[in-house]
Amino acid sequence: MDKAIFYPMLGMAALTFSVVTLLAKRRFAAVKSGETKNPAFFKTFRGESPEPPSVQAVQRNFANLFEMPMLFYPACVAAGMLDKVDAISLSLAWAYVALRVIHTLVHVTGNDVPTRFKIFFLSNVPLMALWIYIAL
């Protein structure tokens, strides 16, 4: 298997670890400052979130990283196993990672929903193309 396909997967993993680190940082800061009402919420995560929007956005982004990206990892593994690691598959994989990074930046900063949706939609294009390329 060509190791080059591992690096886009590493990039997605790094993004995921970065977001969970940001989530912890913002969550602890919100509890410490009193912005988070009812810290006991974190024992069960039941009911309405008492967290400020800045924390909720990062939490939602973290959850997003376990949705569509779950199609990304097996696509990369399949590309490696089927000897489809080349400039096309690598470009598609890196395009997906780059768009997910941009999506995260939009989500955890200003969270402009129309912009975020466009980037989310665009990020699915290279992912779908990667699967089609591998299948052909």
Residues 6+ apart with CB under 8 A from 39: 31, 50
At residue 1, the pLDDT reads: 64
Q: Give me the helices (H) in 52-112, please.
A: 53-64, 69-81, 87-108
Q: Which amino acid is at 18?
A: S
- CA pair distance 132, 75, nearest whole angstrom: 10
User: What does pTM read for this prediction?
Assistant: 0.91
**For 3-135, which CATH class?**
mainly alpha
Q: In the prediction, which pLDDT does 45 show? A: 75
DSSP code per residue over 51-68: S-HHHHHHHHHHHHTTST
Mean per-residue pLDDT, 22-45: 85
Contacts of 4 by beta carbon, 8 Å cutoff, 6+ apart? 85, 90
Domain range annotation of the chain: 3-135
The per-residue pLDDT for range 27-36, each reduced to its tens digit, is 999 988 988 8
Residue 132 pLDDT exceeds 80: yes
